[in-house]
Amino acid sequence: MRRTQVDDWPSSDARWVLAVIAAATAARLALAAQLPLSVDESYAAAAAWTLPWIWIPLLWVLAAALRARPRDTRRWLLACLGSGPIFGFTLLTVIGSRGLPHWEAPGYFILLPLRRMLPMLRP
C-alpha cells in the first residue's frame, strides 16, 4: 500500500522545527517555575528593579507619611494608594504564596510624587 502525503505528516523537514518549539516551550516553563520569589527575595528584587537609591527614599517617605496620619491630605492619599500594592503583595508572599517583584511596582510608582514633595515638606 502506498503512503499518501497526509500519512507522512509531520515530514522529516518539519520534525526538527517541532523539536525546537518543544524545547523552547520546556525552557520557558522551567524558567517560569523559578521566577516566583519569597519575601526577602521579593524585597531585594524590588530594590534592584527600582534601584536602591530610589527605593530606600520611597520607603522612607511612605513611613513618614503613614506616621503623620491624615494631617496633610495629599501625602495621606498618596501613602494609602501606594501602600496597598506594596503591603498587599508582600502579605501574599508572607502567607506562603510566591510572588513576583513587578507586582509591587504600581505602589512604588504612586510614591514617586510623594518623594518629589519631600523638599517642600521639610521645615
Q: Are 43 and 104 in contact (CB under 8 A)?
A: no
CA 53, 55, 58, 62 torsion-angle sign: negative
Phi, psi values for residue 118, rounded to 5° = -55, -45
User: Which grid cell sits at 36?
Assistant: 516566583
The three-class DSSP label of residue 37 is strand
Q: What is the pLDDT of residues 60-112, one digit of tens each?
A: 888 888 888 888 888 889 899 999 998 888 888 778 777 777 788 888 899 98
Q: What is the pLDDT of residues 76-88, one digit of tens each?
A: 898 999 999 988 8
The pTM score is: 0.60
Going by C-alpha positions, the residue among 105, 119, 111 that lies closest to residue 65 is 111
**Radius of gyration of the chain from its Cα atoms, rounded to whole angstroms:** 24
User: To the nearest whole number, what is the mean pLDDT of the chain?
Assistant: 75
Name residues whose C-beta falls within 8 Å of residue 88's C-beta, 6 or more positions apart in sequence: none
